[in-house]
């Protein structure tokens, strides 16, 4: 078979089961593609030996019959996941040299299912960023370009390496994590599918924590069917994560009938932002028409507290980050600063953290420290948590009124140029998450699906938001949208 790296998970699974190809062949094709793709900055730690050994084991299992769906599928793993004996440093200098003695629950479930790890993927430092420009490894680059213009574009963030690697066919799929949009925004920027499940659907154990009440991992794949297959392998209750839900994991792939007749799709008026580019507006209208033509009922809905989601997020996420990142103190793992004569333990903490954390991470840790400090806790942190309750209530109300899923744009624009936002104030960068962050605050499942291209040929995506725990239904609506949109464009190889 040719173009093995271009296969979807479903195609590869079926081909391997039929004996048309092997995991060893697909894995080796991916490793070759990765070797030639340094310019994308996607893979930051390569694990070809692990990959080949896992592929060989998978082939034995497939031959024996009855192998799981993910068996033999070569994946990229975001650097935020702890992988035993393999560098896992959350794209931060402070975790330089850290090789976990344990495996995250999600990677261990994937490997138990026979999946193959090709290496670790670039990301924003500690998942804090929307452009993959805060990484200690340097930028990840979008495989897409604006027509014939060779300006390097961002693949989005924080899961920028995952997005770039999947879009460029360096791997069949990748893991991502999403705290405010870090799976869905990069997926939209590179024309792939990215899903954040309901909070609690997948275990957070062994994933470097950013904001624990918002963090959730999910699949980044070439299509909706693959998202369903991979999510099933990642999901499930884990006694090691007290917030993981003890619920059965449905067969999400079986939910993909494409039949959405009678479903009610909500269009929230608050997402019609002032100054929204006409292309995004049209994309959204086209998506609405597609769902309507497929037999869904379209209703206008209101989510009145939408405007306050970003400010609430920029209290809650930094507050949780300042607490979670307190563990990086130069004592137990990673970087420790060189100390001067007479330096005590406080100097060790302060110098280590100043050297180890990048600028954006330092800024968020300090903002979090401030909003949690005595005298401000109520005014900032508690108020933000109250607003968060109202944001969730907005969604509860529309779901109680019979809405099955909500359609919105995934991002306010197409991918922007690397460096273009350097001089903007941090708030401008934060606005990238304006359509996605509400979903994290409300703990809901959300999925970004590519449905169009802008005038310069860059991919654009729409987001569907579903009811809690009903990922199967949500994936089915996404599947219908995907079929109607018929997005098949691929970036032209320049790397």
Partner 1 sequence: MSIDTETARRVAKLARIKVEDDALPALASEFSAILGFIEQLNEVDVEGVEPMTSVTPQRLKRRDDVVTDGDQQEAVLKNAPDAREGFFAVPKVVE
Q: Which residues are catalytic?
A: 78, 158, 182
Q: How far is the CB of 334 from partner 1 (least distance, A)?
A: 7
341 burial level (CB within 10 Å; 0-12, 13-18, 19+): exposed
**Per-residue tokens: 384:** 């933000």
**Per-residue tokens: 173:** 């799929």
Contacts of partner 1 in 455-484 (CB under 8 A): 468
8 Å CB contact between 361 and 125: yes
Q: How far is the CB of 381 from partner 1 (least distance, A)?
A: 8
Residue 183 near partner 1 by CB under 8 A = no
Judged by CB under 8 A, which stretch of 15-23, 178-186, 342-350, 409-417 contacts partner 1? 342-350
How far apart, in whole angstroms, are the C-alpha atoms of residue 90 and residue 81?
A: 8
How far apart, in whole angstroms, are the C-alpha atoms of residue 416 and residue 27?
A: 32
8 Å CB contact between 385 and 313: no
Among 333, 435, 479, 487, binds partner 1 (CB under 8 A): 333
Residue 298 vs 421, nearer CB to partner 1: 421
Question: Position of tokens 């650097």?
Answer: 79
Residue 59 vs 470, nearer CB to partner 1: 470
Contacts of partner 1 in 232-291 (CB under 8 A): 239, 242-243, 245-246
Among 6, 17, 336, 490, binds partner 1 (CB under 8 A): 336
Among 270, 286, 350, 454, binds partner 1 (CB under 8 A): 350
**At residue 432, what are phi and psi to the nearest 5 degrees?**
-55, -30
Q: Single out the residue of 168, 93, 165, 158 nearest to residue 132, CA to CA.
A: 158
Collapse the DSSP code of 294 into the 3-class scheme (helix H, G, I; strand E, B; otherwise coil) and give the result: coil
**Per-residue tokens: 474:** 């949500």
Cβ contacts of 9 within 8 Å, gap of 6 or more: 69, 70, 73, 172, 173, 221, 222, 225, 226, 229, 230
Q: How far is the CB of 351 from partner 1 (least distance, A)?
A: 5
Residue 8 vs 369, nearer CB to partner 1: 369
Contacts of partner 1 in 356-385 (CB under 8 A): 357, 362-363, 365-367, 369-371, 373, 380, 382-385
Among 4, 303, 317, 387, binds partner 1 (CB under 8 A): 387
Residue 200 vs 268, nearer CB to partner 1: 200
Among 354, 419, 492, 493, binds partner 1 (CB under 8 A): 354
Residue 213 vs 456, nearer CB to partner 1: 213
Cβ contacts of 379 within 8 Å, gap of 6 or more: none
Among 43, 199, 210, 435, binds partner 1 (CB under 8 A): 199
Residue 325 vs 414, nearer CB to partner 1: 325
Q: How far is the CB of 97 from partner 1 (least distance, A)?
A: 8
How far apart, in whole angstroms, are the C-alpha atoms of residue 201 and residue 243?
A: 9
Q: Applying CB under 8 A, what is the total number of residues that bind partner 1?
A: 72
How far apart, in whole angstroms, are the C-alpha atoms of residue 51 and residue 32?
A: 12
Question: Position of tokens 């995991």?
Answer: 23
Collapse the DSSP code of 84 into the 3-class scheme (helix H, G, I; strand E, B; otherwise coil) and give the result: coil
User: What is the DSSP-derived secondary structure letter of residue 212?
Assistant: T
Collapse the DSSP code of 35 into the 3-class scheme (helix H, G, I; strand E, B; otherwise coil) and give the result: helix
Residue 213 near partner 1 by CB under 8 A = yes
Q: How far does CA 412 lie from the centroid of its chain?
A: 17
Residue 298 near partner 1 by CB under 8 A = no
Q: How far is the CB of 332 from partner 1 (least distance, A)?
A: 6
Q: CA separation (Å) from 58 to 10, 53, 85, 363?
A: 16, 9, 21, 44
Q: How far is the CB of 455 from partner 1 (least distance, A)?
A: 31
Residue 27 vs 244, nearer CB to partner 1: 244
Judged by CB under 8 A, which stretch of 15-23, 73-81, 219-227, 325-333 contacts partner 1? 325-333
Contacts of partner 1 in 99-128 (CB under 8 A): 99-101
Contacts of partner 1 in 407-446 (CB under 8 A): 425-427, 430, 441-443
Cβ contacts of 199 within 8 Å, gap of 6 or more: 213, 214, 216, 243, 440, 443, 444
Q: How far is the CB of 406 from partner 1 (least distance, A)?
A: 17
Residue 383 vs 490, nearer CB to partner 1: 383
Neighbours of 36 (CB within 10 A): 11
Among 272, 292, 386, 493, binds partner 1 (CB under 8 A): 386
Q: Single out the residue of 238, 241, 234, 236 nearest to residue 213, CA to CA.
A: 241
Q: How far is the CB of 45 from partner 1 (least distance, A)?
A: 16
Contacts of partner 1 in 8-37 (CB under 8 A): none
């Amino acid at each position: 078979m040719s173009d093995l790296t271009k296969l979807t998970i479903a195609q590869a699974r079926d081909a391997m089961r039929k004996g048309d190809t092997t995991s060893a062949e697909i894995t080796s094709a991916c490793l070759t593609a990765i070797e030639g793709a340094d310019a994308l900055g996607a893979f930051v730690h390569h694990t070809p030996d692990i990959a080949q050994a896992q592929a060989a084991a998978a082939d034995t299992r497939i031959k024996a019959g009855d192998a799981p769906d993910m068996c033999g599928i070569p994946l990229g793993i975001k650097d935020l996941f702890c992988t035993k004996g393999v560098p896992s440093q959350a794209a931060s200098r402070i975790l330089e040299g850290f090789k976990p003695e344990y495996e995250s629950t999600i990677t261990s479930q994937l490997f138990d299912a026979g999946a193959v790890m090709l290496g670790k993927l670039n990301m924003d430092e500690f998942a804090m960023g929307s452009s993959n420009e805060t990484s200690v490894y340097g930028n990840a680059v979008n495989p897409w370009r604006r027509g014939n213009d060779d300006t390097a574009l961002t693949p989005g963030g924080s899961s920028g390496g995952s997005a770039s690697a999947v879009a460029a066919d360096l791997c069949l799929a990748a893991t991502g994590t999403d705290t405010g949009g870090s799976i869905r925004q990069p997926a939209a920027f590179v024309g792939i599918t990215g899903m954040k499940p309901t909070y609690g659907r997948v275990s957070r154990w062994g994933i470097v924590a950013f904001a624990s009440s918002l963090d959730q991992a999910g699949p980044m794949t070439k299509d909706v069917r693959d998202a369903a297959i991979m999510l099933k392998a990642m999901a499930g209750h884990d006694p090691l994560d007290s917030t993981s839900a003890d619920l059965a994991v449905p067969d999400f792939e079986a939910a993909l009938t494409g039949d959405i007749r009678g479903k009610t799709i909500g269009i929230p008026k608050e997402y019609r932002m002032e100054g929204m580019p006409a292309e995004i507006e049209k994309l959204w209208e086209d998506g609405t028409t597609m769902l309507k033509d497929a037999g869904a009922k379209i209703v206008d809905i209101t989510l009145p507290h939408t405007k306050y989601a970003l400010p609430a997020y920029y209290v809650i996420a930094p507050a949780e980050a300042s607490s979670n990142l307190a563990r990086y103190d130069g004592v137990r793992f990673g970087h420790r600063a060189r100390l001067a004569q007479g330096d005590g333990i406080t100097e060790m903490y302060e110098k280590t953290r100043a050297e180890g954390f990048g600028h954006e991470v330092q800024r968020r840790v300090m903002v979090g420290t401030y909003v949690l400090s005595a005298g401000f806790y109520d005014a900032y942190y508690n108020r933000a948590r109250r607003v968060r309750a109202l944001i969730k209530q907005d969604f509860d109300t529309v779901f109680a009124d019979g809405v099955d899923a909500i359609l919105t744009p995934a991002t306010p624009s197409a991918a922007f140029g690397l460096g273009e936002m350097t001089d903007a104030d941090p708030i401008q960068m934060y606005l990238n998450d304006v359509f996605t962050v509400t979903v994290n605050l409300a703990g809901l499942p959300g999925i970004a699906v590519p449905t169009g291209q802008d005038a310069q040929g860059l991919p654009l995506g729409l987001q569907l938001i579903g009811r809690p725990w009903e990922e199967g239904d949500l994936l089915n609506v996404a599947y219908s949208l995907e079929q109607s949109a018929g997005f098949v464009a691929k970036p032209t190889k320049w790397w």
